[in-house]
Structure 1
Amino acid sequence: MKTQVTRLFGAALLGAGLLAAGPALAQGAATPARTAFVDFAEVVERADPAVVNIRTTERPRGPRGPQGAPGAPGEQDPFELFRRFFGPDVPNMPRPQPNPRAPRGGNQDEVPRGVGSGFFISADGFILTNHHVVNGADEIYVTLTDKRELKARVIGSDERTDVALIKVEGTGFPRLPIGDPGKLRKGEWVMAIGSPFGLENTVTAGVVSAKSRDTGDFLPFIQTDVAVNPGNSGGPLLNTRGEVVGINSQIFTRSGGYQGISFAIPIDEAIRVSDQLRASGRVSRGFLGVTLDDVTKDVAEGLGLGKPQGAVVINVAANTPAAKAGLQEGDIVLRVDGRLVENRAELVRQIANIRPGTKITLQVWRAGKTRDVTLTLAERPAEQTAQRGGETPPKAPDNAKANELGLITVDLSDARRKELRIKGGVQVVSVDGAAERAGLRAGDVLLQFNNQEILSAAQFNELVAKADLRKTIVVLVNRNGAVNYVPIRPSR
């Protein structure tokens, strides 16, 4: 299996747990005595009762066999062992089938789906786990350390953050204290309790490898070297004080199993989601209406930013808060209400964590200067799709010569400028040299050259001729409706 980041319970070939001896800490002369040895026994004794095993079942929805049983008998299912280890949601995996020889009684059509973990966050039965542990399940059962099995119901589940809130009836349940993941340090010991391969309340340990890892889900994951295996998904990541600091959710793997890199959802992010799930059963997020990209080192240098930070606006959707406030393609968002934006993922997180209807101020970098843009956030829609077809570029004029960057451009028609909502701009009709190495293509529309608006092909060529080509040149490019900065290095 190729390298991938995958969720632990069963949505891809994945693992879901923690299971391995923690790595030794290198000790130096200045190492505090308290870090020389960590004894987890007391922590486990306090935390263990609050961790639960989660078992899910589903009713088969496939065609019925001649005897009323769907498909082949479970005891002859060649995928059953694989399913037990990795869960039922592996792509193209046949659904499990009940055994027609099973004794009568109970719900014969109900078949095992998978196992996971969770933990109490309140004495009245609220449990945090992963969305992918309970998603699609018809029945959910929770097993406590005293061997009681209780039926649970889903209060709410959020696919985007992979957080789910479920509840069992009753009171007096032990709960885990909530820690502060922001205070975690690289190299700090952490531990987990869960049910790898169904082995209930297994304890594993390791260290924090990194913080604020972006795996594409726009969550600032905690990366650890705690061994992760199927069944620990949804279980707690604990610090040495016994406080939960994360929910184990994903692994990085080439084989489907643990390979020394696992990820946990920071508990503060999970609690923020669970509070909304508890209140309304759904999560409401702030929405700008833009498509974003990161600022590279070359772009930052070429635009005079000093260092790569912020997020580039590459598309502004019509009739959105961003469009109404005048946010423009090519703007670089540096701060949200004074809070620094490190990158694209950080901006997405900050906006998502603000309630819809909130008025905010963005500090943006535009044409070499900072300015403030104030707007009111809308609610993020469930799905958004915005695609544009390509354009057939015009041909280069006869006897046209490429400029020093290797580009031949032509002026845009009035209709094209109106369509793109711009006053100037030029279209690339031929690419060679440094521009080709930078990735520019025929059909690209150039909007800015080193923070200066491009008004015509003649003016663009003049800008190129006057530029210091020993330095990185940055052009703002519209390609099929998506706008982004492209750094060009004239001399290699």
Structure 2
Amino acid sequence: MTLMKRIKFSLVLVFACLLAPLAHAAALPDFTELVEEASPAVVNISTVQKQDGGRISTPFGQFHGPNGEDIPEIFRHFFRDMPQFRERPHKAPQSLGSGFIISRDGFILTNHHVIKDADQIMVRLNDRRELEAQVVGSDQRTDVALLKIDADNLPVVRLGQSDELKVGEWVLAIGSPFGFDHSVTAGIVSATERALANENYVPFIQTDVAINPGNSGGPLFNLEGEVVGINSQIYTRSGGFMGLSFAIPIDVALEVSEQLKGQGFVERGWLGVIIQEVNRDLAESFGLRKPAGALIAKVLPDSPAGAAGLQEGDIILSFNDHAVTLSSDLPPLVGRVKPGETAEVEVIRQGRRQTIDVTIGRLPDENVQAAVPAEEPVETSRLGLVVAPLPEELQEKWNLRSGVIVERVEEGAGARAGLSRGDVITMLNGERVETLEQFKRIVADLPDKRSVPVRIVRRGSPLFIALKPN
């Protein structure tokens, strides 16, 4: 290589090294304009909330010493049970969370848990004005609340479409973590349609945006400056941010807010089934190539599902042309259908696919079931189970029409499948168990070394498990 070529090659390397950081910087988003445009419509929300005896509930559980001094968080558990260090009665607003203005005449979206049980709600605007807010409506199931303040010509956010979000996309949050107004944090979408325990009606957006107490109810923006979610929950072991944050999709929040605005409460569709996940063993027992769908463990009495002919043991594969991959996919799909409308439900029943039209009902309030085991005479089966006829009191208590109760579990297939004393077997290998004699016949006809589905009722709750006879 000649000297000139070496010089040129060296210059190319130098320029490449200089341009690499610039290219990397250019690839990162600039949030400054977005924040400047959106911040005026983000508000701080604080409440006064009395408890019994005039005590005040605060978001951070603030305690006070005998002279009114604050006790640091690290010491609170030492003083919690000492009378002189208990919370002192007082009435002062405590910063709870955030919200955002969606209309120029003062409608504000936030979380239900931010304003729950509040005696007074104060909204602090970007221009430092503080106005009292009224609750238009609040929905605990989706954790969405709609507030109204008496003001005009307010700045508003631009609303986007959460169903267009993609994993890996940049998002930004504005809120008041720990009371620090208009704090901005950014990250990416980690997942969409994420199901959380006890949150059946919200397909959450998961992000790694830093969210802490006080961010609740604040907006989640995409790079276009549009609100795509309401920051609602975090997963934490420390009480602070750990990289797992969850937002309510704005599409869901707007549907809820429209109902709250129109009638003050939310109506949801109801199918009337108890469902469970289809794992690998259950998929094999039902003859599926892979785990998928929502397995119907129980059809509730007087339900839309029962009226339409859905049965226990059906596996729902799609609802209104939306695929049901996980059982958690189904409740949000059903909940968004208006009561009285007809939905198409595709199921697989005994290996055959079929579509059933269901007239969706209105979701009732709470359904609670409880249980106690029973004891009766014994019968032994090939599965290592000692079973007995189902007592009448359990039939009434758990609304069971038939079945046999497990009195004892010995070594064998039943023990390996996880059956336990007090379980009621109501269906075995697709056949409903009516009598003890019929149960023994079904067991005798079971195939060897292949999983079969068993429907049981355990402490009042229905459940399918996979059982593999010897």
Q: Same fold (TM over 0.5)?
A: yes
State yes or no: 1:97 paired with 2:80: no
Q: Is the partner of 2:146 in helix, strand or coil?
A: strand
State yes or no: 1:121 paired with 2:132: no
Q: Is contact 1:314–1:483 with CA below 8 Å preserved after alignment?
A: yes
Counterparts of 1:385-404 in structure 2, within 5 Å, are 385-396=368-379, 400=380, 402-403=381-382
Q: 2:453 aligns with which of 468, 474, 477?
A: 474
Runs (5+) with no aligned partner, structure 2: 1-19, 56-62, 77-84
Q: Is contact 1:80–1:96 with CA below 8 Å preserved after alignment?
A: no
Q: 1:179 aligns with which of 157, 160, 166?
A: 160
Q: 1:459 aligns with which of 399, 424, 441?
A: 441
Q: Which moved more, 1:326-335 or 1:447-456?
A: 447-456
Once the two structures are TM-superposed, the CA of residue 322 in structure 1 deviates from its matched residue by: 2.5
Q: Which residue of structure 2 lines up, in the alignment, with residue 373 of structure 1? A: 356
Q: Is contact 2:44–2:95 with CA below 8 Å preserved after alignment?
A: no
Rounded to whole Å, the distance in 2 between the matches of 1:303 and 1:241 is 46
Amino acid at match of 1:180: Q
Query: Which protein shows a greater Rg?
Result: 2
Once the two structures are TM-superposed, the CA of residue 353 in structure 1 deviates from its matched residue by: 1.0
After superposition, the CA RMSD in angstroms is 3.1
Q: Which residue of structure 2 lines up, in the alignment, with residue 303 of structure 1? A: 286
Counterparts of 1:57-96 in structure 2, within 5 Å, are 57-59=48-50, 61-62=52-53, 76-77=67-68
Q: Which residue of structure 2 lines up, in the alignment, with residue 244 of structure 1? A: 227
Q: Deviations over 1:112-169 (max 9, x none)?
A: 2433111111122111101111111111111111112222111111111111110112
Rounded to whole Å, the distance in 2 between the matches of 1:74 and 1:318 is 56
Rounded to whole Å, the distance in 2 between the matches of 1:196 and 1:474 is 49
State yes or no: 1:328 paired with 2:311: yes
Q: Is contact 1:406–1:435 with CA below 8 Å preserved after alignment?
A: yes
Amino acid at match of 1:461: V
Q: Which residue of structure 2 lines up, in the alignment, with residue 44 of structure 1? A: 35
Rounded to whole Å, the distance in 1 between the matches of 2:292 and 2:93 is 48
Rounded to whole Å, the distance in 2 between the matches of 1:481 and 1:255 is 35
Choose between structure 1 and 2: higher helix proportion: 2
Q: Deviations over 1:19-67 (max 9, x none)?
A: xxxxxxxxxx9xx999821100011111111111112123565169xxx
Q: Which residue of structure 2 lines up, in the alignment, with residue 438 of structure 1? A: 417
Once the two structures are TM-superposed, the CA of residue 191 in structure 1 deviates from its matched residue by: 0.9
Once the two structures are TM-superposed, the CA of residue 436 in structure 1 deviates from its matched residue by: 0.3
Q: Which moved more, 1:52-61 or 1:41-50?
A: 52-61
Rounded to whole Å, the distance in 2 between the matches of 1:362 and 1:132 is 34
Q: Which residue of structure 1 lines up, in the alignment, with residue 16 of structure 2? A: none
Once the two structures are TM-superposed, the CA of residue 274 in structure 1 deviates from its matched residue by: 0.7
State yes or no: 1:227 paired with 2:210: yes
Runs (5+) with no aligned partner, structure 1: 1-28, 65-71, 86-92, 99-109
Q: 1:364 aligns with which of 333, 347, 365?
A: 347
Rounded to whole Å, the distance in 2 between the matches of 1:130 and 1:138 is 16
Q: Which residue of structure 1 lines up, in the alignment, with residue 384 of structure 2? A: 406
Q: Is the partner of 1:318 in helix, strand or coil?
A: coil
Q: Is contact 1:292–1:312 with CA below 8 Å preserved after alignment?
A: yes
Identity of aligned residues (%): 44
Once the two structures are TM-superposed, the CA of residue 299 in structure 1 deviates from its matched residue by: 0.6
How many residues get paired? 425
State yes or no: 1:211 paired with 2:192: yes
Give the TM-score, by structure 2 length.
0.81
Q: Deviations over 1:312-367 (max 9, x none)?
A: 22223322223333333222222223322222222111111111222323223323
Rounded to whole Å, the distance in 2 between the matches of 1:34 and 1:184 is 24
Rounded to whole Å, the distance in 2 between the matches of 1:371 and 1:301 is 19
Q: Is the partner of 1:461 in helix, strand or coil?
A: helix
State yes or no: 1:195 paired with 2:140: no
Amino acid at match of 2:43: V
Once the two structures are TM-superposed, the CA of residue 450 in structure 1 deviates from its matched residue by: 3.4
Amino acid at match of 1:287: W
Rounded to whole Å, the distance in 2 between the matches of 1:137 and 1:63 is 13
Rounded to whole Å, the distance in 1 between the matches of 2:26 and 2:229 is 21
Once the two structures are TM-superposed, the CA of residue 437 in structure 1 deviates from its matched residue by: 1.8
Amino acid at match of 1:356: P
Q: Is the partner of 1:314 in helix, strand or coil?
A: strand
Give the TM-score, by structure 1 length.
0.78
Rounded to whole Å, the distance in 2 between the matches of 1:168 and 1:415 is 55
Q: Which residue of structure 1 lines up, in the alignment, with residue 60 of structure 2? A: none
Change (3 A) 1:270 1:375: same
Rounded to whole Å, the distance in 2 between the matches of 1:277 and 1:155 is 7
Q: Which residue of structure 2 lines up, in the alignment, with residue 270 of structure 1? A: 253
Q: Is the partner of 1:62 in helix, strand or coil?
A: helix
Q: Is the partner of 2:255 in helix, strand or coil?
A: helix
Once the two structures are TM-superposed, the CA of residue 387 in structure 1 deviates from its matched residue by: 2.7
Q: Is contact 1:60–1:111 with CA below 8 Å preserved after alignment?
A: no
Rounded to whole Å, the distance in 2 between the matches of 1:96 and 1:272 is 41
Change (3 A) 1:74 1:145: farther
Q: Which residue of structure 1 lines up, in the alignment, with residue 463 of structure 2? A: 484
Q: Which moved more, 1:236-245 or 1:407-416?
A: 407-416
Rounded to whole Å, the distance in 1 between the matches of 2:442 and 2:150 is 70
Q: Which residue of structure 2 lines up, in the alignment, with residue 315 of structure 1? A: 298
Q: Deviations over 1:185-207 (max 9, x none)?
A: 22221111111111111111111
Q: 1:255 aligns with which of 238, 241, 254?
A: 238
Once the two structures are TM-superposed, the CA of residue 253 in structure 1 deviates from its matched residue by: 0.8
Q: 2:138 aligns with which of 152, 157, 179?
A: 157
Change (3 A) 1:421 1:232: same
Q: Is the partner of 1:298 in helix, strand or coil?
A: helix
Change (3 A) 1:356 1:75: farther
Rounded to whole Å, the distance in 2 between the matches of 1:438 and 1:449 is 13
